[in-house]
Structure 1
Amino acid sequence: MEGLLIHAVLRELEKELPAQNLGLAFPEEGTAAILLKGRTGRLFNLVLHYRPPTPSLALEPGRLQGEPKTPFQRQLQARVKGPLVEASQLKLDRVAFFRFAGEKGFVDAPPSVLVLEATGRNANLLLLDEEGRILGVDRVITKEVNRYRELRPGLPYTPPPPYRKLDPRTLAEEDLLPLLGKPLKEVIRHVDGVGQELLRELARRAGLTPETPLDEAGLGRVYRALKTLVEDPSLRTELSEELRRRWAEEEKEALRKPLLEALDREIRTLKARLGDYQEALERLEEAEALRRRADLLLARLKEVPKGAEKVVLEGFDGKPVEIPLDPALSPQENARKLYDRARRLEELAEKALDLIPKTEARIRELEAEKERLRTLDLEGLLALAQRPKGEKGLKVGLRYTSPSGFLVLVGRNAKENDLLTRAAHSEDLWFHAQGVPGSHVILKTEGKNPPLEDLLFAARLAAYHSKARGERQVPVDYTRKKHVWRPRKAAPGQVLYTQAKTLFVEGLLPEPREEA
């Protein structure tokens, strides 16, 4: 969740403070909901979702239910008492603080502070005392994990590392001058509170694309759009026809670029091999010379000194010939060694004669494929990732067959993860190991409901092809592909998702093995 979105939630919450705390509920292991009655009489829940990879903060109506499911949640229920008197944010970072006043009673509950770190895969929730000492934490962080700070009970709380960015609430238009001539997507690096999602909304409001180089007029449009984003950071989807066309072109280029790069890599490899084959042909003369030397050695055995490193013999044409020797070998063995070298060179040349036309033909095919790629529309580019196994052309990802016969695709790198997820059917199932880097796994169901053994098969593939490989209990999230999206201009393979369920599996490669 991005900083300006958190800021908007806190701004709405501040209107109700101080708010009476009516108790906590825990709908799931990674979610805490505090039922509040605001000073206007409004009844609502402050919902903190604090588990990676998609933490969030929201104000929701009604009354949520759920008993504590973890020791940390039981600690929250016991310690978070009294009215909510303050809600604040660390600059526009994804860190929010909620201070509760405590309450008097048979056993007094002292004031406490909840800290939500909505920082993607590093998300966490902490409970602090008045002095800022950690009383409890959902995910303990040790020095082995993070050298900058530890998060464990008993230690003073240390916020995430400081940074320097422009505050969109107070910046002036001239503060954006460092962006002059740079693409709009550079805003993320310079302006606080704006991430990939809000970048897309900012571009929409400014009438630009994330790749648009900013001139002076563009900077003015971005400045005005930023100010509206501060007041209302809600995300919208409508685009003008011009923007829709330009963004579609960017989408095609994002898909086309890795495909062209893969073809270029293969062409470079084939051209290097072609050079080796040409060199093998050129060395045929060297093979003939080696054979003549070997013949001469055998014809002049008595003239070769024992243990010599070289010898000069009269050639068959009457001219002297110098022959290097291995002093540890006899003249016959030196001759055999020369014959062997000559035979290897001849075999390589013979192989090269067969491979040169095939390699040249393959290079022509790949060059033609490059030209075809440059003309494909979006649907055609997406279809490349889903070619049947036997069809010529690019094949993206590892392929497995589930126990019930469903195709399972596994990305081998960030670009393949991106292509597989983009090209998947909206009703296919998408899997990823929770909270760690790893492959995107697609179970090709196209809306069918596979049995549990197929779900576990795909989940184990996701666990095995991740940083959790080999672990005994790996949480793997899965959801329909339609609930997975890549934020605008995010790095390849980086996605957000909703409505996920979690399976716990071993990080071991399941059977059956990879198809090809």
Structure 2
Amino acid sequence: MSLDGTVVKNLVYEINNRIIDGRIDKIYQNNNDLLINIRAKGKKERLFISISGSPRVYFSEEIFDSPQNPPAFCMLLRKHLENNQILEVSQYKMDRIIKILVKSRDEFGEFSKKALIIELMGKHSNVILIDDELKKIIDSLKRINFNLSSVREVLPGLTYNPEDISKGFNPCEVNSISELINNSNKNLNLKTFFLKTFTGISPQMCSEIEYRSSVDFRRIVSSLSESEIKNLEEVFLEIFKEVKEYKFSPIKIYRDGIFKDFYSIDLKELSENEKSKVESISSLLEEFYNSKFLRDTLDLKNKELKKSIKKNIEKLKKKISNQSNELNIALDRDKFKVYADLISSNFYKIEKGAISLKVENFYNEMKEIEIPLDPKLDGPSNASKYYKKYSKLKNAAKFLAEQIEIGKSEISYLESILLNIDFAETPDEIEELYEELEKEGYIKKKKNNKKKKDNKENYIYIKTEDGFEIFIGKNNKQNDYLTHKKAKKNDLWFHVKDAPGSHVILKNDNRNFTNNSLITAAKLAAKYSSLSKSKNISVDYTFKINVKRHPAKKPGLVTYTNYKTINVNIEKE
């Protein structure tokens, strides 16, 4: 992510324009997150500050959950900052350090200047309240001693000096970089040189300078010619002249069509399809971090659920393997009936304590056979033992065959859940899958599991070019609803052949189905299936009246008859 000095400068510029001379109304804290309500220019602003996970600052519209008993740091901020005027919001040396200067009044009515320092430094981020006149730390959100950091301490009473963590040059105040390049370590590559020499420069900025100058940033400093250094300098000064003059153009950055990053200037290295311009850096940051939080939460839940499902699938496969071995033994049961019959016909040949019996096998052309005996049993008891074993294996074969089919159905069901996870777009949809698996007994029920809103109708809806309606289920609940509730008997039902996939319904609107509508529905069934990356995918389709619930009674599983098959290819055109 590109929350570097350029983005912070853009953010500080926007914050200043919105809250300068405003008054702090109320301050809330939840763990490492702060929300400052501000009354400025006839409006109420809500400045959100977070140093947890992804450190960030922006104006927010979201509801902030705060504890009933405010933390000590929150109470301290309220004491020094609430009902007081904001004098200025500034940035230190183009670094990721924001200072909110406040005209504070104590209990005796005396005025002084207090400053809230926000350091957006990755895992070293912090929010620090200082006496701006004395440059003394009053307190901080995270207290840091030398046991936690060898760089500096952040404790009440100590002097606050941003130079402790920000020692590079301000790129907006540099008039030439030629001398800096010539005097630098000659073995540094260009990217490392820029990152180490200047404050607030990120890999994203390095990439843009590299693109505009056409100089490879993997090269070492000593390999540069004078003309290349001059070219680099021109590009560098041009970019930071615009930054210094607040000529910002915030953009969303897309990768594979997904909003994945942001920046404060128009990056020329990106194509028009990879970016889109927005007006406000603050709203851009809020949208980005909310979508990132959603993606991260979704990814975490996905991984947890997939791990649990795969564990269940492995257990089922092992169980089926053992059952198959037992079934093979059971299917070889006829020899035990033969043993019993031959023993019954040859009681007189069995001597007391014999461990085997050699007789002619009238079931196999009178060839001699040796039958194992239990020396503790007489002839009739040995025969009875083999008859019982034969009968037991006969029953076992039927039971094992049924259990193997049930196990295979369970695996098909769980594989469909794995596919449903990939289709889920929100944490709530993943939570629905958790609830389904709890109900089916595959995972343990969560304590205090609140019932979620039923989202069975959040299926995908598409209208073809020729006006036919198509509905696609994203999970088993939606698949069941579409197939068994919404679809009418003369609607067409589509499903990828012999693989997990969504149920796709092509609605009958009293017209003949067009070839285009059939192909579109089939392609959608292929796209929303586990075979989506394959070529020439087979898709079955039939009237909904021919689709029945599967005997295994698992959500989303069905059987169908009287179907046709169509082959489609969904490769990107």
Tell me the TM-score normalised to structure 1 length.
0.42
Structure number with greater Rg is: 2
- The higher relative CO (CA closer than 8 Å, separation ≥ 6) is in 1
